[in-house]
Structure 1
């Protein structure tokens, strides 16, 4: 019956509530520390008033919020083709992109690189590198610097239909055979196993 009967009365704490709210959202919940912070700002009230205000914030029920997606899930959404994402995943990715401009820029760059890779449009690589350098994404700057070191080969790999996948597969298989024999196999035995496999 008496709940809220004093809510509209002015308080000496009113002018300092925005500061307290900001610090509370930053994670500072120590009433003594917050009182010490607002005294130099001109607050002349008591420590008990600050403590009571924060006590109400601690004991009031918090709104139920959904759990944020894991970094692995967000990376999966960015790396997968947009058509393979479910409607809820697309909505969650849009929400993440709206809250983090860096992830929005990153996903744009990843998608444009994937389109370049799938459609074999290696001639677009210099424009893509320029676009990457214009954004403040240090990890992509490192990737761009690595691509710059051998740009002709990367453009050829993104353009030409040939690749060294078959050779790499054979090298991988030979290494696996060598590991199976714990490094004790000589050339003759390795040769025999490769030819008979």
Structure 2
């Protein structure tokens, strides 16, 4: 396809090259009204294994565009979606909240997972362990990989988990002391005897 009068045309990326005739045909059939994201999804079902950005950059350079055409934004990454779902809603910007809602509206299973994650986090931060049985029942009924198996594990150690979600006591200080001792042990390994190691542990306590 001819360029846009801006010098020699850059080569089509190798991964997209076998799909170039199909992309050009689909673009012509829709009079340029097909979005780049739609084209990317179509060739993905036909075996394309490259990134969205490969198709986007090629389309921007080689496909004829109608006046005012704007390529569709790329789909969010797994990391972005995970952040929208696991962070406290109050910490999200307005744009992030809109993105989060759009993702959840498109995937009911993900909306259920987000609701279960948020409700468990609320139990953890408000020490409301009395709600744990209901949460376990909901998580088990959801039949979601990961969350449902997590619920099974909570049921197996129910009393300890309930205590952890209800009382102010936690093992943080003990874990901190253990980690500090392990760090000192690694620093001193092969360099000094037990006497000096003991003294360092006592002085840092």
Q: CA deviation at 1:150?
A: 0.8
Q: Distance in 2 between matches of 1:88 and 1:183?
A: 54
Contact 1:178 1:185 in 2 (8 A): no
Superposed displacement of residue 136, structure 1: 2.5
Which TM-score applies when normalising by structure 1?
0.68
Closer/same/farther in 2, CA of residues 75 and 157 from structure 1, 3 Å limit: same
Higher relative contact order (CA 8 A, sep 6+): 2
- Residue in structure 2 matching 1:144, options 130, 141, 151: 151
Q: Aligned match of 2:121 in 109, 114, 122? A: 114
* 1:171/1:56 CA distance change after superposition, 3 Å: same
Per-residue deviation, residues 68-90 of structure 1 (Å, max 9, x unmatched): 11111111111111111000000
Q: Which has the larger radius of gyration?
A: 1
Gaps of 5+ in 2: 1-17, 36-70
1:187 Cα deviation from its structure 2 partner: 3.3
Counterpart in the other structure of 1:93? 100
Does the Cα contact within 8 Å between 2:127 and 2:165 map onto a contact in 1? Answer: yes
Asked if the contact 1:97–1:103 (Cα under 8 Å) also holds between the matched residues in 2, the reply is yes
Q: Retained in 1: the 8 A contact 2:188–2:197?
A: no
CA RMSD of aligned residues (A): 2.2
Query: Any runs of at least 4 consecutive aligned residues in structure 1 with deviations exceeding 6 A, and if so which?
Result: none
Matches of 1:159 and 1:86 in 2, distance apart?
A: 31
Residue 167 of structure 1: how far off its partner (Å)? 0.8
Secondary structure of the equivalent of 1:138? Answer: coil
Displacement of 1:56 after TM fit? Answer: 2.9
Paired with 1:154 and 1:140, the residues of 2 have a C-alpha distance of: 16
CA shift at 1:196, angstroms? 1.8
Gaps of 5+ in 1: 1-28, 31-50
